[in-house]
Structure 1
């Protein structure tokens, strides 16, 4: 049962579990899970999503995994494998809140009990295909700008837009990291201007302008899928990307998931809500990589953060 909410002692950390988004995928990331009981999730996800998830998790190369639809279903499944293992191996871990970065929000909704595993897998499959098609029709780019606050990066974006560029703020990931998205020309030009202003940047290895109006063509297909999906009451609160507010289950998630496709990810505000409104005293970055743990440490350096991404080896 993926949604068991175990209460620990009063002195135990109150964890907010964080689920990563697209970009953390890597070849062979499913290998540690292959002999665990949790691996049965892979068959379920494959059946309803239409992807050979076992192949993606075990043998696919980086080029194959970089495809938007492949990346999303792979990271979603790997995150649920880690969540299942956490609940089995650390049953006393006190989880009081959840959040997911972009795609990771769907894994968070499954963990919260708002979505079933099969509904979550189907939605992620439909979302990935729709976003891949939108990017094929209108390619874009993204870059992380580091060293400046949100206001400084926003000013660069607004200046580019006044000059007619297709450019938007896509993610506010930490107090000193903001991701921009739009046309490749606009992203590269603005990144260069950021560097001239003393900031650093990294162009992300994607061909899409996620969380921007470039994803609007994917909205119709995703909305149809959302309308066919049951959103249940849930057992654990989830802080949403689009408004950084605390939500429980229910049909309101249809609108939030649809809006998330084109709206910025308010990750800094999300982390603060988890800590300040839901009294989370530690963060647990679950799934592939430790990106979210690093962002949490930069945003709230006084709050402990750790990763949980691989099963504990079984003793012979």
Structure 2
């Protein structure tokens, strides 16, 4: 895609399941920035390879910082786009990229997000399981069977497309749902993320999260932001604290958000990554195509 076409594309930010090697490369390449210096300082490291990325408390702020740096490297910090949006924690990356929150405030919020997930999981172990290849009625069936058998909590926490749903809840229920779905021909992936994000199990830590969200200063976004909470387009700061509060418990409606981005004028979307997770999701069906831009010479 030409540079002119790149500027016309919307920008999408992924959640935590991204390419670790790409994260390391971009963080180390931008170690002099205030964002990476604060990130490394809080984690007590001097380079990305020292970070335990499997620990959600570290993985989430790293994902956020790497996504912002990737987009800034490509477009600069004040680029114009028809829209930006983010999957799961990428919602906060999109808000920072759009100028609705200060990037360093966003980083602090990511550390808090990792902590509340860690605390929830420590009290009640949870898992996220991705089911691919089942229609919605079959997903609902295996979810209900798993709940009935384990007496646990299990809920849809993400709708990536018509044939890809994420379930989240008690670890035993999620594991059983994955087994049941696999027996029905689904492709199943258990995600190594600590915390029942986008699930009612997070209600126990909601007051702490709400307090953190309400401490952030919000501004009108420079670029319209489509939320994956409700697929609505935001152009002012009104209601952003309430949106991010709800974000913790409500499912990611990614396919709806992508469709809304198209309705808002995005004819294509660029996956800020690092990595290609959102482009991979789009290969199973997407209202707006994801594009690969001409590579840059630096990481």
Residue aligned with 2:81, SS: strand
Tell me if the contact between 1:69 and 1:132 (Cα under 8 Å) persists in the aligned partners.
yes
**TM-score, reference length from structure 2:** 0.88
SS of equivalent to 2:58: helix
Note the 1:36-115 alignment, pairs <5 A: 36=30, 39-46=33-40, 50-52=42-44, 54-55=46-47, 57-60=48-51, 64-88=52-76, 95-115=81-101
Aligned to 1:5: none
Q: Distance in 2 between matches of 1:42 and 1:269?
A: 33
Asked if 1:124 is matched to 2:110, the reply is: yes
Contact 2:258 2:287 in 1 (8 A): no
1:240–1:246 Cα contact (<8 Å) kept = yes
Which residues in structure 2 correspond to 1:230-241 (within 5 Å)? Answer: 230-241=217-228
Tell me what 1:168 maps to: 155
1:1-316 to structure 2, matched below 5 A, reads: 14-24=8-18, 26-27=20-21, 29-32=23-26, 34-36=28-30, 39-46=33-40, 50-52=42-44, 54-55=46-47, 57-60=48-51, 64-88=52-76, 95-162=81-148, 164-275=151-262, 277-300=263-286, 303-306=289-292, 311-313=296-298
Aligned residues: 296
Question: Can you give the 5+ residue segments of structure 2 that lack an aligned partner in the other structure?
Answer: none
> CA separation in 2, counterparts of 1:241 and 1:53?
33
Structure-1-length-normalised TM-score: 0.84
- Kindly indicate whether the alpha-carbon contact (under 8 Å) linking 2:161 and 2:254 is maintained by their aligned counterparts in 1: yes
Contact 1:38 1:81 in 2 (8 A): no
Q: What is the CA distance between 1:303 and its match in structure 2?
A: 2.4
Cα drift, residue 53 of structure 1? 6.5
Task: Describe the superposition over 1:109-165 as per-residue Cα deviations: whole angstroms up to 9, x where unpaired.
Answer: 001110011211111111111111111111111111110133431233234445533
Aligned equivalents of 2:22, 2:225: Cα separation in 1? 30
